[in-house]
Structure 1
Amino acid sequence: MLFIGLDIGTSATKCLLMDAEGRVLKVTSRSQRTAYPEPGWSEQDPAMWWESVRSGVRELLEGVDAGEVCAIGACGQMHGLVVLDEKDEVIRPAILWNDSRTRYQVSYLEREVGEAFISEQTGNRPYTGFTAPKLLWMREEEPVNFARIRKVMLPKDYVNFRLTGVHSTDYSDASGTLLLDVEHKCWSKPMLSICGLREAYMPQLFESWETIGEILPEVASELGLPPTVKVCAGAGDNASAAVGTGTVGPGRCNIVLGTAGTMLVTTDGYFTDRRNALHSFCSADGGFNLMGCILTAAGCNSWWMDDILGATDYEAEQARVQGGHLGHNDVYFLPYLMGERTPHNDPRARAAFLGMRIDTSRADMTQAVLEGVAYALNDCLNVVRSEEIQVLETSICGGGANSPLWRAIMADVLGIPLQVPTTEQSPALGAAILASVTSGLFPDVASAADALVRMEDDLVMPNRQIITLYQGRYNVWHSLYPAIKDFYQQIL
């Protein structure tokens, strides 16, 4: 038995082939372009995702007995607005999770509708990246396009539609639309009304492991797959990464160091924090979680290395940072290249270096970038801890987690051990694990993750002496955003 996991990411779409023992047999990747037509805008063509899947799956199956493939699971970037017309054709490019054009719509929701009411309806507060404000923007700025809407979907849901012809989504991904009643797992009629939508325009809701249908015969023929292959509803990328790292069941934590950074903590039932600083979402295993999100994590490192330094060898660049300098860096970096969510909810926030002197080195600034992201995730952890939720250790995945230096910094700043999965493709692996459940190989997600997820033997342990040093520097870093917050209002 073989299973395919698809990860519809921002920078790339990845396809993964997994066997019944959880071994990753092959991974393919297709880079993707993001368009920035206006400052703060971020868009992609959904046709590009489908083309990436088509070519990626065909490559994945080269030299493989495709008849052994039983099921496909997909995960993807959350919040992206995909709108289809009455002919199921894409109306406009998808507006992505890191698009900040909707700050006026968010202000409207906060002031006129009220944060308390929205939280009561959805478990969450409005953010510029969420789907509902994008719909309000479309209604105001593109009324002709808005009037054509007959189905609202998310990125991985569009791929599932192309695979099966079914309009579907899952609870984890729908949680980030600001249109789902997360607690009761149904579409919020008041929020749909506020956005000018009918419930018929929304996709059918499924649990992540549930089968939405079989692959269309013509698609099966094109990809070289049996027409009996099942497709499950899948999950948002962070919920899928939680499955791929074994973060299943209450009381567990996973950090994703991807383009954005997230900290997902599973909870014992539905829960919202007092300030709504964290997202209250459904998990891919049928439970619930709290999630903190920073909008640029590994994206900060890519910006620094690629665009500023022009460096292609990340490992060599990080080798300039001396291990003995950890906890001693007086250069600070605010990682707000795309604004920030947790805990500030400030789309106007911008990145900044502070504390540089005449003797500041290139290595100091590289180290500051890595530390700034770690400090921002520590902000998320402190909100979790303020709710008297204990986090004693965490798994960590994503491209940034490949760096031993960054893992050490993360462990020392957070003050907890890190578990590292044996594969860096945790979201795609999680999607394949969900596919194994929909095939009937396992009765539930928990048993599947327990059987299939593998972690490195050695934990990344924090250095107790460096923890103390980093605590002092984190306190300095944490004071910087409030000190320059008003400046952001002047420069935009």
Structure 2
Amino acid sequence: MFIGLDFGTSAVKALLVDGDQHVVGSATVPLSVQRPLPGHSEQDPHAWWQAMLDAIDALGRADAGALSSVEGIGLSGQMHGAVLLDQAGAVLRPAILWNDVRSAAESAALEAAFPALRQVTGNLAMPGFTAPKLMWVRKHEPEVFARLRTVLLPKAYIRYRLTGEMIEEMSDASGTLWLDVGARDWSDAALAATGLSRDFMPRLVEGNAQAGTLRPELAARWHMTRRPILAGGAGDNAAGAIGLSAIHPGDAFVSLGTSGVLFAVTDRFRPYPQAAVHAFCHALPDTWHQMGVTLSAADSLTWWAGVTGHDEAALLAEVGMPAAPSTALFLPYLGGERTPHNDGKIRGAFAGLSHDTGRRLLTQAVLEGVAFSLRDCLDALAASGTRIGTADVIGGGSRSRAWIGIIAAALNLPLHRLSAGETGGAFGAARLARMAVTGEAPEAVCTPPVRAETIVPDPALVEAYASHIARYRALNTKIAEVVRAV
């Protein structure tokens, strides 16, 4: 048996997976985000820990025998978050999350301090990444920075609590702006530009490598017959790729979670920072990937559901599969945007409203705005030389066939709905745990997913969306200076 843990922004998910790769148990514990100031996004790392304990406890209540035979644990989770620890390993402040945009000035300062940043790390300096967050802390919370001894990403913090070891793996480390992504090692120059050194960093391993052993007291808590080995694990999207068997160059998927991602596996380090494309290590040795990212994907629908007072399922049902584009346009930049804008201050907007614009058309515009943002990601990857012919879809938004149909038409790509699209990250983490324990080759473990359905783009909607995407981009250009955070 193997456990896959996924530490998302909104929940911790735990899966129990048997030797035949069947999910035999699952548990989800919700999390909340604190926003103490506009543009700030934080969570208490202790809340992740308690949620993880609750999730595994729930697995044990459902099937104590299965939990007792666990041999390995894999970790996945939200990337970029900064967990700051003191000399004793205690948390110094709430973790600053991936969607926190307070460090725009520090991002610019980092690029100025380290001109080779883009070539070494494969990415633009953005507020979402970890390094600018530490520069912000050094400037605005010097008393915290003075006590700092270790910086960990969210899942590395959980590993530390589980094993007592401070270890990170390549895919998650790629999102810090401290990793030499081509060399798969910490960059001394990048660290020095933020006032840090390797002494502040955890040890690096590959995602399918062994990375610690569960503490004895925790193995006893869950009545495990042996102390399970932890795998290096993966950042959320790389773990999703492992769960989908996206391990070969050309494999691709769309993730419709809180954020939206277009992910493509590459055979080498292929940076394209001029369009805010992310070039990261994959969770497997000698493999890399690119990502285009939109910060508010399913989060846009969640926001709209809160505004309207209707739940998301009801809003999706009201729209159905549209035969034509909405007359309204929506920019999904609720908390800034990454690909291709790299703008933490741009904000969302509705446009094209009339007396005839009701809730259904506005909901459709929200769904289309996310789809058009993903089209921006597709075009950015294409400009880098990466071509995508088809893609799987994972994440909470993948439950909506209509939304996938909208995205398929906007991208003009066949998209595959999966039988278990919501559990990709945790399932991928369990697969990495198995590889770490058994030493099996990735090809032997990463068997293809069960595809419930392939949604082919509607040609009429593809044609209609072409002009709408042009209008969407024109709207970006014309009102970008108006819809900005103050």
TM tier, smaller: over 0.9
Corresponding letter in the other structure for 2:80: H
- Residue 38 of structure 1: aligned partner: 37
Instruction: State the distance in 2 between where 1:461 and 1:147 align.
Output: 55
- DSSP-derived class of the 2:64 partner: coil
Corresponding residue of 1:332: 329
What TM-score does the superposition give when structure 2 sets the normalisation length? 0.97
Residue identity matched to 1:361? G
- State the shift of 1:455 in Å: 2.0
Q: CA deviation at 1:437?
A: 0.5
Match of 2:87? Answer: 86
In the alignment, the residues of structure 2 paired with residue 434 and residue 359 of structure 1 have an alpha-carbon distance, to the nearest angstrom, of 52
Q: Judge conservation of contact 1:124–1:276 (CA < 8 Å) in 2.
A: no
* Higher mean C-alpha displacement, 214-223 vs 389-398: 214-223
What residue number does 1:109 align with? 110
Please tell me the residue identity of whatever aligns with 2:396.
G
CA offset at residue 315 of structure 1?
Answer: 2.6
Q: CA deviation at 1:421?
A: 2.3
Alignment of 1:291 with 2:288, yes or no, is no
Any residues of structure 2 matched to 1:68-467 within 5 Å, and which? 68-110=69-111, 112-113=112-113, 116-273=115-272, 275-286=274-285, 287-305=287-305, 307-312=306-311, 314-323=312-321, 325-423=322-420, 424-440=422-438, 443-450=440-447, 453-467=448-462
Structure 1 CA distance for aligned equivalents of residues 325 and 84 of structure 2: 50
What do the CA deviations read for 1:123-146 (whole angstroms, capped 9, x no partner)?
111000100001101111111111
Q: Which residue of 1 aligns with 2:64?
A: 64
Q: What is the alpha-carbon distance in structure 2 between the residues aligned to residue 374 and residue 10 of structure 1?
A: 21
Distance 2:292 2:140 in 1: 30
Q: Is the 8 A contact 1:326 1:409 kept in 2?
A: no
CA distance in 2, matches of 1:486, 1:100: 17
Runs of 4+ in 1 over 6 A off after TM superposition: none
1:157 is matched by which residue type in structure 2? A
Q: Which moved more, 1:235-244 or 1:119-128?
A: 119-128
User: Is the CA contact (8 Å cut-off) linking 2:110 and 2:193 kept in structure 1?
Assistant: no
Q: Partner letter of residue 432 of structure 1?
A: A
Q: Which of 481, 484, 489 is matched with 2:479 structurally?
A: 484
Compared with structure 1, are the counterparts of its residues 200 and 274 closer, same or farther at alpha carbon in structure 2 (3 Å cutoff)?
Answer: closer
Could you report, residue by residue, the CA deviation over 1:432-480 in whole angstroms, capped at 9, with x for unpaired residues? Answer: 110111110x522232112xx4222431111122211111111111111
Deviation per CA, 1:316-357: give whole Å up to 9, x if none.
32222253x433322100000010010000111101000011
* RMSD, aligned CA: 1.4
Corresponding residue SS for 1:126: coil
Which residue type is aligned with residue 269 of structure 1? R
1:53 aligns with 2:52: yes
Q: What is the alpha-carbon distance in structure 1 between the residues aligned to residue 33 and residue 80 of structure 2?
A: 15
* 1-structure distance, mates of 2:323, 2:344: 30
- One-letter amino acid of the counterpart of residue 106, structure 1: S
Q: Distance in 2 between matches of 1:319 and 1:488?
A: 30
Q: State how far apart, in whole Å, the 2-side matches of 1:33 and 1:322 are.
A: 30
| Equivalent residues of 2:122, 2:273 under 8 A apart | no
Contact 1:12/1:30 (8 A) holds in 2: yes
Residue identity in the other structure for 1:380 = C
Q: CA deviation at 1:390?
A: 1.6
Q: 1:86 to 1:297 in 2, by over 3 A?
A: same
Question: CA shift at 1:387, angstroms?
Answer: 2.5
User: Which amino acid is the alignment partner of residue 137 of structure 2?
Assistant: M
Deviations 1:407-446 (A, max 9, x none): 1111111111112222121000000110111110x52223
Contact 1:58/1:224 (8 A) holds in 2:
no
Per the alignment, residue 11 of structure 1 pairs with 10
Structure 2 distance, partners of 1:46, 1:216, is 19
8 A Cα contact 2:275 2:380, kept in partner: no
Alignment check: 8 A CA contact 2:275 2:341 kept: no
CA change 1:103–1:274 in 2 (3 A) is closer
**1:62-95 deviation line (CA, Å, top 9, x unaligned):** 2231332110001010000001111111111100
Quote the sequence identity (%): 38
- Structure 2: distance between partners of 1:144 and 1:60: 41
Q: Tell me, in whole angstroms, the C-alpha distance in 1 between the residues paired with 2:104 and 2:25.
A: 41
Within the alignment, does 1:24 sit opposite 2:23 as a pair? yes
Contact 1:245/1:421 (CA < 8 Å) preserved in 2? Answer: no
Provide the C-alpha distance between the structure 2 equivalents of 1:348 and 1:128, rounded to a whole number of angstroms.
10
How far is 1:485 from its partner? 1.3
Q: Match of 1:403, as an amino acid? A: S
Distance in 2, matches of 1:58 and 1:318, equals 34
Letter of the 2:354 counterpart: R
TM-score, scaled to structure 1: 0.95
Question: Does the CA-based 8 Å contact 1:320-1:363 persist in structure 2?
Answer: yes
Report how far residue 194 of structure 1 moved. Answer: 1.1
After superposition, what is the alpha-carbon deviation per residue over 1:235-286, rounded to whole angstroms, capped at 9, x for unaligned? 1001101111111111111111000111111111111126252011000122
